[in-house]
Structures are given as C-alpha cells and as structure tokens.
A = this chain, B = another copy of it.
C-alpha cells in the first residue's frame, strides 16, 4: 500500500528542474487562498511586474501560463497562427521540432530552417528563407536550446522578423535569468519561458509575454484560437489590467506563491549579477572538465553557461555513469537528446543550482565515477582548475 512520499535530497544539475531554494519551497507550502481573493489579485499584479523585469519588457500582457513550458509554447503559436498561415521555424535541436508540430497542428505551414544540432541558428539561412517566403507571418526560434546547450542570436533574428513584417516567437525557457533576455530591446513579439530552469522555481508554470504588435494581431483574429484554455483574449480577462477579474480557470494558487518568491530572489540579486554568476560557474566547470581531459561539445562562442554539453568518452556507458552519480552522490545530470543521445551529457548550472559547491561536487563525482570505470582521464586536476577560476 502506498505511503507518504519523502523525496531524496538530490542536487539537480540536469536540464531542469534545477535545485529549488528552501525559501521558494517554503513559500509554495503556505496556506491556499481563493483565486479571486483580493490578496491574490494583488499578488498577481506583483507577479506581472516581476515578470516584466525578468523578461526586460514593458509589455502589459506579461503573465504566467498555468501549465508547463510546452503549454507556453503552444499559447504563442495558437494565438498568433490560424489555418492557412505560414511560419518560418528554425531548428537546431529538439525544441525547433516541437515548434514545427505546433505550427502544423494550427493548420498552418512550417517552412523549416535546419542547422546542425550543437550550432546556432544561421542568420544568413533565415534571411534567405524570408526572401523566398515574404508572406511568412511568423518567425519562430529557440534562444537557448536546452537539448544542445547552444545560444542563438535572438536580437538579429527578431530584427529579421521585423524587417519582413513577421511576428517573432521566441523560446527563452532555458535563458531567462541565466543569460541576457531583453524582450523590448530585441523587439520580440511572443516569448515564453519556464519556471524550472534559471528561475529555480518548481516546474509547472510558463511565463509568457506578448508585444503590443502581437496583442493587435490577436485582437484582429477572425478565426477563434483553437485552444480555449490558452486563448489569450479570455486569459486577459482574468490577468488583464483595468478589468474586473473575470473567472477563466482556477489559477494554481500555491505555484504562484513560489513563482513570486523566485522572482523576488532574482530581483534582489539583479539580472546582471545573476548572468555574471552563471558565467563564472560555467567557466569553473569548463576549466575542471577540460583539466580532466574531457571535451565540451559546443564551440566556446555559442555555449550556454547554464547548460553544458560534455562529450561522453569512448567506451563509457552513458546510463551507468548517470545512475552511479544519482545513487552514490544524489546528483542528477542530464542525458543527451536526439543527435546527442548516448554521446553527450547535459550538465545544468541553472539558477539556485549555479554555485561553486555544485561545480566542485559534480567535478569530483564525475572524476571518481569515470576513474572507477577506467576512462582515460587526468586525475586530481579538475577541482584545482575550477578553483583557479574562482580565485
């Protein structure tokens, strides 16, 4: 018979969820109040403002979707596309493929721009595709590919969309709070993120923001949004300013406490400081990984500091290493996805989990585990190299 569940205390250095701070967990467990309670409405207003800071935007329609990042993605596509529309979709990892699925399920056509997994989206290719498809209504791309640890040039891509009278849809699930995301400076139109990456909040919520241009497009729709749950015109009635808060769905009240708390932590640290911290810990990890004799998969210029792809040494069993890390060190790192399945590990240094203690734990654990498995690594150098970065 089932009994109460006591999770182990893991260190979460995979692709997300990342370690959630005790402060956020404590907020999460506070007493539930009604989703139309005046105190909750006040909390919603604060969350909107704090999300505007995290996204660096003045967009009024900046809210948390009451579901995971995949639903945030879907919210962007179903609100901006209608049957018969055309969207240019950049794919350089798993999530571009999911975008294609979203486009097609809207009855729209996806024109794909393919780049190698592990490389950023090619601006030149996108420019060429726009020349062939000037009628594209949307350009969609992933800023920080969680499957490959690669950053693409969001500013340049949004500019291309703008130059071609298209709306941009940008996946910032893994980037917000880890590297610079500047929605207004980019001129991005529909942007979604997740709570469980560099915000270090519990998984299950997807912050989104829509530019005035995107809101105009939504308001001009003649074809109803195919999802009732994700219809932004309806959601605006609940989350919007200057409206009587109309019931749409029951907000995940406690998850909002946690999101609010994690956004306060971000605000208190300051975005620039958070980016700097992610960068520093990344450098230390890379120094240790390379000192050990392991190889980073992604070119230095394209790397995400919050998600590091490490090539699995020849002859080493991917799953055996990850299982050992989990069972001996309570340490979770991520498996490779798609092209990188079995070939690379994904080591996250996201949000609350991006700290020196985790970097050193991970290097030690990897060194011991690989050593025991007979991998040809340099011993005794990794921690020293990492510490030199912090010195």
Contact = CB atoms under 8 A, between A and B. Distances in A.
Contacts of A251: 68, 203-204
Given A66-B68, A71-B67, A32 B228 contact: no
B33 A249 contact: no
A37 B4 contact: no
B74 A2 contact: no
Nearest to A173: B250
Interface in A17-60: 17, 19-20, 25-35, 37-40, 43, 46, 49-50
A344 to B, nearest CB: 16
Contacts of A2: 46, 49-50, 260, 264, 267
Contacts of A25: 29-32, 254
Tally of this chain's copies:
2
B8 A34 contact: no
Given A102-B228, A229-B74, A196 B250 contact: yes
A7, A104, A258: most-surrounded residue (chain B CB, <10 A): A7
A379 interface: no
Nearest to A250: B203
Contacts of A8: 31, 33, 39
A34 B248 CA distance: 31
Contact of A4 (B226, B250, B264): B264
Contacts of A222: none
A378 B47 CA distance: 45
Contacts of A40: 7
Contacts of A29: 25-26, 28-29
A190 to B, nearest CB: 16
A69 B250 contact: yes
B7 A332 contact: no
Contacts of A202: 32, 252-255
A261 B29 CA distance: 13
A133 B314 CA distance: 64
Interface of A: 2-10, 12, 14, 16-17, 19-20, 25-35, 37-40, 43, 46, 49-50, 66-71, 73-74, 98, 101-102, 104-106, 194, 196, 202-204, 224-229, 247-255, 257-258, 260-261, 264, 267, 326, 332, 337
